[in-house]
A = this chain, B = another copy of it.
Amino acid sequence: MTFNTQGRIFRFTSWGESHGPAIGCVVDGTPPGIALAEPDIQRWLDRRRPGQSRHVTQRREPDTVEILSGTFEGHTTGTPVSLLIRNQDARSKDYGEIRDRFRPGHADFTYLRKYGRRDYRGGGRASARETACRVAAGAIARKVLGRRVRIRGAMVQMGEHAVDRSKWDWKAVEKNPFWCPDADAAEAWTDYLDTVRSAGSSVGAVIEVVASGVRAGLGAPVYGKLDSDLAAAMMGINAVKGVEIGAGFGAAVLTGEENADEMRMRGGKPVFLSNNAGGILGGISTGQDIVLRFAVKPTSSILAPRRTVTVDGRDTEISTRGRHDPCVGIRAVPVGEAMMACVLADHLLHHRAQCG
């Protein structure tokens, strides 16, 4: 079973709770000889780190990564890379009230039902903190994929406010706190999210992740489809409730003529004239950009009191004070990129195994 493990050949196993001493992961299957040092991972962790703008949780975590194994003289050796990130700002005193009450929309109830006990000091394994491990593993996956592959994420919708795709500018993404590719939308979102935050509320989002430079042929026809693995990877990110590839749910309203991407020879090479497929046909990459989107639900930790029950079966209410995200989707952008990188690296190695 691989219940805390992601991937097959390039694979990582994560561990740790938000209120323990540390979190971390073990990345296995990395090819030897790849230049890898802590800054290669830290730069990606820094993008995900909380507390960087007023729009995300104010929990202060430096998220400093230590490499404990698997490298020698600045290169991977082919043995497992163990990564450690210490928890610093746990402040478990904040969480006293949630000890006995199930927070609506949280995993408190299901954890207790499954395991019969739970670490009531925070989200445990369900904490978004675990996603730091994904970002760290993703940093190594990017190294495995090489420079030719570029993976970028963007928030394309916050609440009801979608970007204008005609204004898409990848450069804009790095210039606003929302990873928004539409500079105008980003500005509007700033006010919008301030309102949401001051109301103690929260709002959902849609994230798009695009991988360019992926060679054709990655994936497998049936139960190891590239899109199937991507769907699992994205749906496994905290708070994600939907995933779509290429035209996605929009494909349902297309006709066959509209949907199927036609082909033509260009400069001696076959090219597709559109990309409704999102770069994947029959579970295998086409060589076009791989394009997916996922929906993130609004954080359930909100100020407004909500009806719930106690662990011992009484009706009550709860309102979550503390350092939470008005739009948890923001921090999901680097996580989605990382998961894309991990899935692609795994398929790259598997393709090499079977097809040379």
What residue in chain B is nearest A274 (Cβ atoms)? B104
A70 at the interface (CB under 8 A from B): yes
| Residues B114 and A262 in contact, CB atoms below 8 Å apart | no
| Residues A247 and B297 in contact, CB atoms below 8 Å apart | yes
A154 at the interface (CB under 8 A from B): no
A221-B79 contact given A68-B24, A231-B231, A353-B353, CB 8 Å threshold: yes
- Bound-state CA distance A314–B213 (Å) is 24
* Identical copies of this chain, number: 4
A265 interface neighbour in B201, B244, B253, B314, Cβ under 8 Å: B314
- Bound-state CA distance A337–B331 (Å) is 34
Partner-contacting stretch, out of A2-10, A45-53, A178-186? A2-10
| Residues B196 and A255 in contact, CB atoms below 8 Å apart | yes
Shortest distance between the CB of A28 and any CB in chain B (Å): 5
- Bound-state CA distance A12–B37 (Å) is 26
| Residues A111 and B31 in contact, CB atoms below 8 Å apart | no
A102 at the interface (CB under 8 A from B): yes
- Mark contacts of A231-259 with chain B using CB atoms, 8 A cut-off: 1 yes-contact digit, 0 otherwise: 11111100001111111111111111111
A159 at the interface (CB under 8 A from B): yes
Shortest distance between the CB of A105 and any CB in chain B (Å): 3
A110 interface neighbour in B114, B241, B254, B286, Cβ under 8 Å: B286
| Residues A31 and B356 in contact, CB atoms below 8 Å apart | yes
A33-B116 contact given A236-B225, A350-B1, CB 8 Å threshold: yes
Q: List 18 A-B contacts (CB under 8 A).
A: A1-B11, A1-B353, A3-B221, A4-B222, A78-B354, A104-B260, A106-B282, A110-B280, A114-B284, A203-B254, A206-B252, A236-B283, A241-B247, A249-B295, A251-B296, A256-B300, A276-B297, A352-B353
